[in-house]
Amino acid sequence: MYMTSSSVGESDQNVSKKNAGYYAAELVRDGMVVGLGTGSTVFYAMERLAEKIRDGMNIVGIPTSYQAECRAREYGIPLATLHDYTELDIAIDGADQIDPKGFLIKGRGAAQTQERCVAAASRLFVVVADVSKQTPSLSAPVPVEVIPSAASLAAKMLSAMGGTPVVREGVKKDGPVITDNGNWIIDCTFAEIPDPLALETDINNIPGVLSCGIFAEFTEKSKIVIGKKESAEIMLF
Asked whether residue 158 is domain-assigned, the answer is yes
One domain, residues 123 and 222: yes
Answer yes or no: is 9 a known binding residue.
no
Which tens digits make up the pLDDT trace of 115-140? 999 999 999 999 999 999 999 999 99
Which tens digits make up the pLDDT trace of 142-155? 999 999 999 999 99
Q: Which domain holds residue 178?
A: 142-213
One domain, residues 190 and 226: no
Q: How many domains does the chain have?
A: 2
Answer yes or no: is 31 a known binding residue.
no
CATH code, domain carrying 201 = 3.30.70.260
Of the residues 10, 26, 115, 230, only one is catalytic, namely 115
Quickly list DSSP for the chain: -B--PPPTT--HHHHHHHHHHHHHHTT--TT-EEEE--SHHHHHHHHHHHHHHHTT---EEEESSHHHHHHHHHHT--B--TTT-SSEEEEEE--SEE-TTS-EE--TTS-HHHHHHHHHHEEEEEEEEEGGGB-SS--S-EEEEE-GGGHHHHHHHHHHTTEEEEEPBPSSSSSB-B-TTS-EEEEEEES--S-HHHHHHHHHTSTTEEEESEE-S-GGGEEEEEE-SS-EEEPP-
One domain, residues 96 and 200: no
Is 51 a known active-site residue?
no
One domain, residues 50 and 124: yes
CATH code, domain carrying 98 = 3.40.50.1360
For the entire predicted model, the pTM comes to: 0.93
Which tens digits make up the pLDDT trace of 72-119? 999 999 999 999 999 999 999 999 999 999 999 999 999 999 999 999
